[in-house]
Every structure is written in C-alpha cells, then in structure tokens.
Amino acid sequence: MYIHWDKKYETGQPLMDAEHRLLVLLFKKLDVAIKTKRSEKVLTRIVSEVRKFVDFHFKSEENLMLETGYPNYEEHQKIHTNLMIELNANISRVVSHKEYPDDLLYFLHHWLIEHIAKHIRSARSRPVAEQNYKDFLRS
C-alpha cells in the first residue's frame, strides 16, 4: 500500500487528524479490495465511499478554515474543487477500465500527503468546540 498513517501528517487539530486517519483507512480498504481481487461491484462501492468521504472532508476542512481565519480560504476552496474534479475523473477512468484501481490509490496517496494543511497548528483563532473534540474522540 502506498500510504500508512504517520505522526508527521498530524495537523494538531483533533477533528482534522481523525478525518485524515479515516481517509487513510478508506484508502487501505480500497487497497485490500484490489489486492484480494474483489469483484468490480465491491470496488465500485468502496470507490463511492471514498468519494463521499472526501467530499465531506473538504466541507469540514473549509468550515474549519473559516473558523480559524485561514488567510487564503478562497484559493484553498478552489483547490478542493479541482481535487474533486480530478478525483471524479480518476474514478471514471477506473470504472470504465481505462486505468487500474492502483492508479487511483496513487492519486489518493499523493493528494493526502501534499494537501494536509499546516495552518491549523498556528491559527490564532481556534475552531468551534475544539475542546470537545478530544472528549468525543475518546468515548
């Protein structure tokens, strides 16, 4: 598998770190399905799950950026839009058998590693309910 969780990916923001870990888990799920030669139907369902979670994660991250005064919010939102377009194109190529699912994994790995925002660590303004995230994640 291309990606494994590493502490260096942590942003210091518990909610984003939890979502990033879930992304890694979904990518691993896809990787296992590919390597164990699961049916096309199973791969399609997992890919759909990845797409929906990525879309959710981008919305969550954008809300966090607004809450913490991220300086280049509009630019970063465009990056998210472009990444979703690229993700959908990659998924379409996999579904239409023009690419292998491994190509999608490579794209997902590259995106996650390159995209994790560092702004959250040094933000002056803190996210809404940040203190509650740790308690919720422990329960």
Q: What does the pLDDT look like over 71-121, one tens digit per residue?
A: 888 988 998 999 899 889 988 887 777 767 778 888 887 777 776 655 455
Is residue 3 a part of any domain in this protein? Answer: no
Domain range for 24 is 12-138
User: Helix count (H) and strand count (E) of the chain?
Assistant: 6, 0
Is residue 93 a part of any domain in this protein? Answer: yes
CB 127 within 8 A of CB 13: yes
Burial of 35 (0-12, 13-18, 19+ CB in 10 A): exposed
Total-model pTM: 0.77
The enclosing domain of 53 has a CATH number of 1.20.120.50
Place of tokens 């990518």: 27
Q: Which amino acid is at 103?
A: D
Is residue 54 a part of any domain in this protein? Answer: yes
CB 17 within 8 A of CB 10: yes
Structure tokens at 102: 């491994």
Classify 69 in phi/psi space as left (phi over 0), alpha (psi -120 to 50) or beta.
left
How many domains, in total, are found in the chain? 1
